[in-house]
Amino acid sequence: MSDNGKVNTGHNIEDKELIRNARKPEGELGHQILDRMNQSHESMAQWGVSHFKVCPDSKILDIGCGGGRNIERFAAQISENGRVVGIDYSDVSVEKSIDLNRKAVDDGIVNVLQGSVSEMPFYDETFDIATCFETVYFWPDFINDLKEVNRVLKKDGFIFICNEAVYREGQMDKYDDLVELLDMKIYSEDVLKESLESAGFKDFKSYIDDENDWICVIAHKA
Ligand SMILES: C[S@@+](CC[C@H](N)C(=O)[O-])C[C@H]1O[C@@H](n2cnc3c(N)ncnc32)[C@H](O)[C@@H]1O
């Protein structure tokens, strides 16, 4: 948080250009922001993943995989019968995720592809779990994109969304600069629930860390 009570978007134009890359990392600043996010999102990600279980043979899709830290985490939890696939529309994110997970990629446990959540190159009912850390803010067509995630999940599969910002009526001023800089949408718990249900999910569960404003939700394919 900066002195004016707003979320810090940087004090000068160079910082702003760096942070702008969180939406779609590109070039050298893209590399830098991905290194930073692999570290700065770690506590939230650890909190988030404590709410579900990965099995040794889980097939996991990490959407908007960024620098690949969550791919690395899941790859360490599966056997040779499991798989982790990362997808991101940024070529820099794909490159970073592959670099970080080089051995698992070479071993055939991990695969990382460039592509948009709106149209993913996977067969129907491929994955047990689809994870979305800090990425849904940027999806262009939220409900249809969730339908696309639903399509690639197996019948008993689930989606996991984890965000470090949650919409609360009357308390959003602190995000104004960030929302403008990144052209992002910060969702409330209710909107996440309604959107997931419209997209064909059921059994919605949410967890909120009030101290940090973190939210994570899980919903199963209906
Ligand atoms: C803020 S970063 C989060 C990266 C990583 N998940 C993490 O938690 O550190 C958002 C990532 O989502 C990706 N992304 C945003 N919109 C996307 C879309 N429509 N399809 C695929 N990837 C997207 C961006 O390229 C970026 O790598």
- For the chain, domains (ranges, CATH) are 13-221 (3.40.50.150)
Regarding the beta carbon of 36 and ligand 1, being less than 6 Å apart is answered: no
Regarding the beta carbon of 37 and ligand 1, being less than 6 Å apart is answered: yes
Q: Which residue's CA is minimally distant from atom 25 of ligand 1? A: 24
Decide if 204 contacts 216 (C-beta within 8 A). no
**Measured in angstroms, how far is the CA atom of residue 108 from the centroid of ligand 1?**
23
Secondary structure of residue 208 in the 3-state scheme: strand
**Measured in angstroms, how far is the CA atom of residue 139 from the centroid of ligand 1?**
9
**Residue for token pair 């969730």:** 146
For the CA of 65, the closest atom of ligand 1 is 6
Q: Which residue's CA is minimally distant from atom 12 of ligand 1? A: 64
Output the CA–CA distances (angstroms, integers) from residue 177 to 45, 55, 110, 184, in the order listed: 24, 40, 36, 10
Regarding the beta carbon of 142 and ligand 1, being less than 6 Å apart is answered: no
pTM: 0.96
DSSP letter for each residue of 187-207: PPHHHHHHHHHHTTEEEEEEE
Nearest Cα to Cα of residue 109 among 182, 60, 63, 146 = 60
Q: Tens-digit pLDDT profile for the chain (222 aa)?
A: 555 677 776 666 669 999 999 999 999 999 999 999 999 999 999 999 999 999 999 999 999 999 999 999 999 999 999 999 999 999 999 999 999 999 999 999 999 999 999 999 999 999 999 999 999 999 999 999 999 999 999 999 999 999 999 999 999 999 999 999 999 999 999 999 999 999 999 999 999 999 999 999 999 999
